[in-house]
Amino acid sequence: MLTIENLEVVYEDVILVLKGVSLSVPEGSIVALLGANGAGKTTVLRAITGLLDIHRGEITKGTITLDGKPIHDLDATKTVAAGIGQVMEGRRIFTEFTVEENLRIGAHTAARGKVESGLDRVYELFPRLKERRKQIAGYLSGGEQQMCAIGRALMAEPRYLLLDEPSLGLAPLIVQQIRDLVVDINKQGTTVLLVEQNANMALSIATHGYIMETGKVVMDKPAAVLREDEDVKEFYLGLREEGAGSFRDVKHYKRRKRWLS
């Protein structure tokens, strides 16, 4: 179980962006972390993986534990060793290296013998990557680059995989493929924390969902309940009224709606 309790994060000593976030990711589950741009989703992931400091961020309060052991003091290399893998937003692959070189880089912490079996596993999950293993990653399509980024994270054999908006900017058909892959990865035993703005996709495969607004968790419910929630439907599932998309968050949207009626 990965557990975050009452987490506060400050950037550049002054900007408080997480204001007491609590969430938990049980072993074996897919948990969705949803919310509009700027809500703090990426910051939660950075806090888990020890990447806050390179962004001039710092945990000022709260704890992050993995199976009861604190991990909020670990640096990025140690969180990988603890079993946490991450695919950052914007699929940061090494564009001038080949697909296979990218995957091997992902395995740099693994024992030598494990690299080949890791490659086999990734190529089985992503036949496209196998076909293109000698190609320069920068020439792949957006969807293939996302697969390469996910494959690279899997090379370290994480127990927990954190995905930051894997569907961003991809065509609906490719989003479906990524969605199915996340399900496959989870079925093979990897726990997933899925950050998405595409609530539809995320809630269709998650067991539990958290919705964040401006640094706080405002909803914390089973995914099935969130899928049926009227506000979530209206605001996040694309069933909202015309023009509502310009509102910052559900609270703001509801206030406007009351005011207009």
Ligand X SMILES: Nc1ncnc2c1ncn2[C@@H]1O[C@H](COP(=O)(O)OP(=O)(O)O)[C@@H](O)[C@H]1O
CB of 165 to Mg ion, least distance (A): 6
- Is residue 205 within 8 A of residue 182, CB to CB? The reply is yes
Strand order, beta sheet including 69-70? 15-25, 2-11, 57-66, 69-70
Nearest to Mg ion of 42, 167 (CB atom): 42
Taking the complex as a whole, the smallest distance from the CB of residue 232 to Mg ion amounts, in Å, to: 19
Shortest Å, Cβ 34 to Mg ion: 11
**Measured between alpha carbons, how far is 193 from 159 in angstroms, rounded to an integer?**
11
Whether the CA torsion 109, 98, 131, 165 is positive or negative: it is positive
Give whichever of 42 and 198 is closer to Mg ion, judged by the CB atom. Answer: 42
Q: Which one among 2, 23, 42, 59 touches Mg ion, defined by CB under 5 A?
A: 42
Question: Can you tell me which of 12, 13, 96, 242 binds ligand X, judged by CB under 6 A?
Answer: 12
Q: Is 92 in the site for ligand X (CB under 6 A)?
A: no
Nearer to Mg ion, 151 or 166 (CB): 166
Is residue 198 at the binding interface for Mg ion, with CB under 5 A as the rule? no
CB of 217 to ligand X, least distance (A): 12
For the chain, the first-to-last Cα distance in angstroms comes to: 45
Applying the rule CB under 6 A, the residues between 15 and 34 that interact with ligand X are 15, 17
Least distance between ligand X and beta carbon 10 (Å): 9
One symbol per residue from 47 to 66: x for binding ligand X (CB under 6 A), - otherwise; what is it? --------xxx---------
37 touches ligand X by CB under 6 A:
yes
Q: Which residue, chain included where needed, has tokens 């899997």?
A: 154
Q: Which of residues 126-185 bind ligand X (CB under 6 A)?
A: none
> What pairs with residue 35 in β-bridges?
212
Nearer to ligand X, 86 or 98 (CB): 86
Contact 25, 206 (CB under 8 A): no
Which residues have CB under 8 Å from 66's CB, separation 6+?
Answer: 1, 2, 3, 82, 83, 84, 160
Nearest alpha-carbon partner for 26 in 169, 242, 207 = 207
Binding site for ligand X (CB under 6 A): 11-12, 15, 17, 35, 37-43, 55-57
